[in-house]
Structure 1
Amino acid sequence: MKYLLIIHNNPALLGSLPKEELDAMMNAHEPFQQALKESGELVGFVALADAADSRVIRVLDQVPAVTDGPFVEAKEYLAGFYVVDCDSFDRAVELAGRMPEARYQGVEVRPVLAESGLGA
């Protein structure tokens, strides 16, 4: 079964970390990815640009309205995700707990119900 391991970033939290700690968190993704490749559980991953570079499109009265992102007023924003293929939800939760961000903020685990283009 495939699972999405969703990374939410909080700019205030990340901005409060010492540079060395932030760099260590970001650099920890490479060995995490390598371990998932070796176990055969990595389907793919996506790192997203800063939420300030996003736009939100809503159709109001049949007219598209474009505003600067992120999607909603929130302290956190979607920063990226991994797609893993593992034996159980418990294993996906275990993997999420190994992600560098899990030491600082929540990593959401969500089962994938349908897919296209994810190596199926």
Structure 2
Amino acid sequence: MKYVAMIYGNQAKWDAFPAEAWPEAIARQEAFNAKYRQTGELIGAFGFADAALAQLVRREAGAPAVTDGPYLKTEEHIATFYLLDCDSLQRAQEIAADMPIADTDPVELWPILHASAADN
């Protein structure tokens, strides 16, 4: 079963993180990524750019109509998401709890109901 694990953040939170702590935080995250890539349970990990760079795209008269985003007006936004492939929900929960950020922030876990392979 596939799952999406999401981490939330905001620019103020990232700006408040001490610059000297970033290298260790990134190293811990890369170690987590490598560990679960090796087991085959981490399909991909994707970090988003600043929410101020998000765009909304609609179709108007058959053409893209683009406006600045993000659509949701919330304090926090999705900062990173992970695509997991696990044998069980319990295993996905274990992996989410093993994320370095799980010590201080929750990781939101969603089962994927439907998938369409991108490599066809």
TM-score, normalised relative to structure 2: 0.80
Whether the aligned pair in 2 keeps the contact of 1:2 and 1:83 (CA below 8 Å) is yes
1:1-120 → structure 2 map (5 Å cutoff)? 1-57=1-57, 66-117=66-117
CA RMSD of aligned residues (A): 2.6
Unaligned runs of 5+ in 2: none
Residue identity (%): 39
> How far off is 1:117 after superposition?
2.7
User: CA separation of 1:40/1:59 partners in 2, compared to 1, >3 Å: closer, same or farther?
Assistant: closer
Whether the aligned pair in 2 keeps the contact of 1:36 and 1:42 (CA below 8 Å) is yes
> How far off is 1:11 after superposition?
2.1
Whether the aligned pair in 1 keeps the contact of 2:10 and 2:79 (CA below 8 Å) is no
Q: Matched residues in 1 for 2:80 and 2:118: separation?
A: 15
Q: Matched residues in 1 for 2:104 and 2:10: separation?
A: 9
> How far off is 1:16 after superposition?
1.6
> How far off is 1:55 after superposition?
1.1
User: CA separation of 1:104/1:13 partners in 2, compared to 1, >3 Å: closer, same or farther?
Assistant: farther
User: CA separation of 1:10/1:104 partners in 2, compared to 1, >3 Å: closer, same or farther?
Assistant: farther
User: CA separation of 1:69/1:105 partners in 2, compared to 1, >3 Å: closer, same or farther?
Assistant: farther
- Number of residue pairs the alignment of both structures matches: 119
SS of residue paired to 2:31: helix
Post-superposition CA distance 1:36-64 (Å, at most 9, x none): 1221212222222221111124579xxx7
Q: Matched residues in 1 for 2:90 and 2:12: separation?
A: 30
Q: Matched residues in 1 for 2:24 and 2:70: separation?
A: 26
2:116 aligned partner, one-letter code? S
Whether the aligned pair in 1 keeps the contact of 2:4 and 2:81 (CA below 8 Å) is yes
TM-score, normalised relative to structure 1: 0.80
